Structure 1
Amino acid sequence: MQITYDWRGDFDDDTLNALHSQGFGHSALSIGWWEQVQRHSLGWVVAKAGGRLVGFVNVAWDGGVHAFVLDTLVDKEFQRRGVGTSLVAEAARGARAAGCEWLHVDFDEEHRSFYFEACGFQPTDAGLIAL
């Protein structure tokens, strides 16, 4: 089945909430994703197979030259097929086209090889405060 990728593509909240629940292992929430990304994101990428949402990544930004990858999600049926890598590549293209010079990501250790090896991110020093 062919997978299409769309910068700032359409999706519905219920479907993305279900994908988010599956991807992060929590019960389904009622987040108004569409309104949230419209108001706060530089962009996002949706992956669809036969019209079905099978992947998503959000691209936040600082209003300048820094963009941030958040919530990279791929439906379990479509994992290990390059969907996540393609989502991040489209996110990088969209951020570059918008004039960003840097794309940042943070992640849990289990995703290290995905972001560094598959997506081409480079390690860097960073800091974090748990709130």
Structure 2
Amino acid sequence: MTIMYEWRGDFESTDVNILHAEAFGHPVLDVDWLTRVRRHSVGWVCARRSGELVGFVNVAWDGGVHAFLLDTMVGAGLRHAGIGAGLVAEAARGARAEGCAWLHVDFEEELAGFYFDACGFRATSAGLIAL
């Protein structure tokens, strides 16, 4: 299985909406992802297999040296094949090339092994307020 990763790759919002619904278990929404990432992100990564979007991650930022992974997603039938780790690795390369010094991520506890072991993040203290 050949997966191609592309920093700031072209995509259709419809394809990301379908992938997001599958990845996060909700109905397909009508979100304008292209406008969102162009406005708020240093970049994003598209993963494709035979031209089909099979993975995506948004790399938001503070306009300076901090980048943040949001919405890491891989199609259900392709999970546990290294695609997510490939998305994160390409996101780190892209953010570094844009001058970012830090890549942050927060995640649900069950994803700790993925982010720490497969992607190389280290644990830090953080805080969160539900709004």
Fold match (TM-score > 0.5): yes
User: Is 1:73–2:73 an aligned residue pair?
Assistant: yes
Matching residue's letter, 1:78: L
Displacement of 1:120: 0.3
RMSD: 0.6
1:109-120 matches, cutoff 5 A: 109-120=109-120
**How many angstroms apart in 2 are the aligned matches of 1:126 and 1:77?**
32
Query: Which of structure 1's runs of 4+ aligned residues deviate more than 6 A?
Result: none
Instruction: Using structure 2 for the length normalisation, give the TM-score.
Output: 0.98
Which runs of 5 or more residues in structure 1 are unaligned?
Answer: none
Report the 3-state secondary structure (helix = DSSP H, G, I; strand = E; otherwise coil) of the residue aligned with 1:48: strand
Which runs of 5 or more residues in structure 2 are unaligned?
Answer: none
- 1:16-62 deviation per Cα after TM superposition (whole angstroms, max 9, x unaligned): 10000000000010000011111111000000000000000000000
Displacement of 1:103: 0.3
Percent identity reads: 63
Instruction: Using structure 1 for the length normalisation, give the TM-score.
Output: 0.98
- 1:77-121 deviation per Cα after TM superposition (whole angstroms, max 9, x unaligned): 211110000000000000100111100000001101000000000
1:75-90 matches, cutoff 5 A: 75-90=75-90
